[in-house]
């Protein structure tokens, strides 16, 4: 028993990441590719945050989404860059739990933010004339704050329960720290952790999912009974959101498969891609999808302004 206690105390101060492959000098190539990806993500998301072409609640929700992409990427990429160049793939327990907090809150904020955006799109399509009164800037701010606080507080409770666990191992079969894998290393009672974990996961999935389904059911109802112009507006408005939502859902499913099931029969390169998909592709996809949409909106506004200026010039000539 004393030997086991000594082992637990010595191994719980750090974790070993066992998924990294010995690639020799190729690690410098992987480092460069990862660094370029990180720079592209930072540049793309930051440029859309500072680009105030939309002065309405939709812009605020997009800003929250882009800030979250920066937050999640920063929780992963600097860590990956250090590990790629390192020959010993270890991480301190405190840094590991910090990374777990960042990545899990990123995932929860992303899904909750997309759910709130679906409700915003429902109001814009179903109540276009009342949209500015139903979704004011103050309401948008409140919704964003609630999303971030709700996700952070909920996972802080999860993390506080997990930190107290007694661990009988310190090897994490992943490229980064994963909450589920760390809990599996515990040799103490995890009943409370499992109960709260199930409750927390249910809330993080069911509440946003209900809001998304409600919003899109109402949008579809309006589309089927509305005019061709209404359907075109719904398609152009909802396509980026649906693409982002489906991509993120697939990425989370890949991550769950990677961490919870035996993947020894799957090629290691594919496992690495699956585990990183949700936090690499999503921050790259969202700026492209919403950047194009914002560009279309800007062009539409320019055409409207030019048309109004032309009318004023014609009216002035007539006088």
Q: What is the pLDDT of residues 174-188, one digit of tens each?
A: 889 988 888 888 888
- Of the candidates 220, 12, 3, 203, the residue with the CA atom closest to the CA atom of residue 97: 12
pLDDT surpassing 60 at residue 257: yes
| Mean local confidence (pLDDT), 236-247 | 86
Average pLDDT, the chain: 82
Beta strands in the chain (DSSP E): 14-17, 90-92, 171-172
CATH number at residue 230: 1.20.1070.10
pLDDT (0 to 100) of residue 54: 55
Q: Which phi and psi angles does 268 have, rounded to 5°?
A: -60, -35
Confidence of residue 7 (pLDDT cuts 50, 70, 90): very low
| Mean local confidence (pLDDT), 138-142 | 92
* 8 within some domain: no
* Alpha-carbon dihedral sign for residues 84, 173, 100, 106: positive
Of residues 103 and 14, the one with the higher pLDDT is 103
Of residues 249 and 263, the one with the higher pLDDT is 249
* 7 within some domain: no
Least confident of 140-144, 249-253, 268-272: 268-272
| Mean local confidence (pLDDT), 120-132 | 87
pLDDT surpassing 90 at residue 38: yes
* Strand 90-92 versus strand 171-172 pairing type: unpaired
DSSP 156-177: HHHHHHHHTPPBS--EE-SSS-
Token representation of residue 101: 């907090």
Task: Tell me the C-alpha distance between 157 and 286, whole Å.
Answer: 30
CA angle 25, 30, 34 (to 5 degrees): 155
pLDDT (0 to 100) of residue 59: 83
Confidence of residue 193 (pLDDT cuts 50, 70, 90): confident
- The domain of 274 spans 13-318
Instruction: Say how many domains are in the chain.
Output: 1
Confidence of residue 20 (pLDDT cuts 50, 70, 90): confident
| Mean local confidence (pLDDT), 272-294 | 83
Least confident of 65-79, 83-97, 237-251, 266-280: 266-280
* 4 within some domain: no
* 142 within some domain: yes
Kindly give, in sequence order, each residue whose CB lies less than 8 Å from that of residue 74, ignoring residues fewer than 6 positions away: 102
Task: Tell me the C-alpha distance between 9 and 260, whole Å.
Answer: 26
* 68 within some domain: yes
Cβ(143)–Cβ(109) under 8 Å?
Answer: no
* 6 within some domain: no
Cβ(12)–Cβ(167) under 8 Å?
Answer: yes
pLDDT (0 to 100) of residue 315: 55
pLDDT surpassing 80 at residue 4: no
Token representation of residue 40: 């592209």
Q: Which residues pair with 92 in a beta bridge?
A: 14
* 1 within some domain: no
pLDDT surpassing 70 at residue 316: no
> Would you call 25 exposed, middle or buried from its count of C-beta atoms within 10 A (0-12, 13-18, 19+)?
exposed
pLDDT (0 to 100) of residue 11: 44
* 115 within some domain: yes
Confidence of residue 201 (pLDDT cuts 50, 70, 90): confident
Task: Tell me the C-alpha distance between 219 and 213, whole Å.
Answer: 10
Confidence of residue 302 (pLDDT cuts 50, 70, 90): low
Confidence of residue 298 (pLDDT cuts 50, 70, 90): low
Q: What is the tally of helices (H) and strands (E) in the chain?
A: 10, 3
pLDDT surpassing 90 at residue 72: yes
Of residues 258 and 309, the one with the higher pLDDT is 258
The SS3 of residue 90 is strand
pLDDT surpassing 70 at residue 135: yes
Q: What percent of the chain has pLDDT over 70?
A: 85
- Of the candidates 38, 83, 76, 45, the residue with the CA atom closest to the CA atom of residue 62: 45
- Of the candidates 32, 47, 44, 42, the residue with the CA atom closest to the CA atom of residue 70: 42
């Amino acid at each position: 028993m004393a030997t086991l206690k000594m082992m637990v105390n010595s191994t719980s101060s750090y974790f070993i990441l066992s998924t990294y492959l010995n690639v020799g000098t190729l690690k410098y190539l992987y480092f460069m590719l990862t660094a370029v990806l990180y720079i592209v993500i930072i540049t793309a998301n930051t440029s859309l945050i500072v680009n105030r072409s939309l002065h309405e609640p939709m812009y605020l929700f997009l800003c929250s989404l882009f800030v979250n992409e920066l937050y999640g990427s920063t929780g992963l990429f600097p860590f990956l860059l250090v590990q790629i160049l390192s020959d010993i793939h270890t991480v301190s327990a405190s840094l590991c739990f910090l990374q777990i907090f960042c990545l899990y809150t990123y995932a929860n904020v992303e899904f909750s933010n997309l759910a709130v955006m679906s409700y915003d799109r429902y109001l814009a399509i179903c109540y276009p004339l009342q949209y500015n009164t139903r979704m004011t800037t103050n309401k948008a701010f409140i919704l964003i704050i609630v999303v971030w606080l709700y996700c952070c507080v909920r996972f802080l409770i999860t993390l506080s329960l997990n930190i107290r666990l007694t661990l009988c191992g310190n090897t994490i079969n992943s490229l980064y720290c994963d909450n589920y894998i760390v809990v599996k290393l515990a040799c103490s009672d995890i009943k409370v952790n499992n109960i709260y974990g199930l409750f927390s996961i249910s809330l993080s999935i069911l509440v946003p999912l209900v809001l998304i389904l409600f919003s899109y059911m109402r949008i579809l109802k309006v589309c089927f009974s509305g005019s061709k112009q209404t359907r075109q507006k719904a398609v152009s408005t909802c396509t980026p959101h649906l693409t982002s939502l489906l991509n993120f859902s697939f990425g989370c499913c890949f991550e769950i498969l990677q961490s919870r099931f035996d993947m020894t029969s799957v090629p290691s390169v594919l496992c690495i891609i699956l585990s990183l998909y949700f936090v690499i592709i999503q921050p790259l996809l969202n700026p492209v999808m919403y950047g194009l949409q914002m560009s279309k909106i800007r062009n539409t506004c320019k055409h409207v302004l030019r048309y109004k200026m032309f009318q004023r010039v014609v009216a002035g000539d007539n006088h």
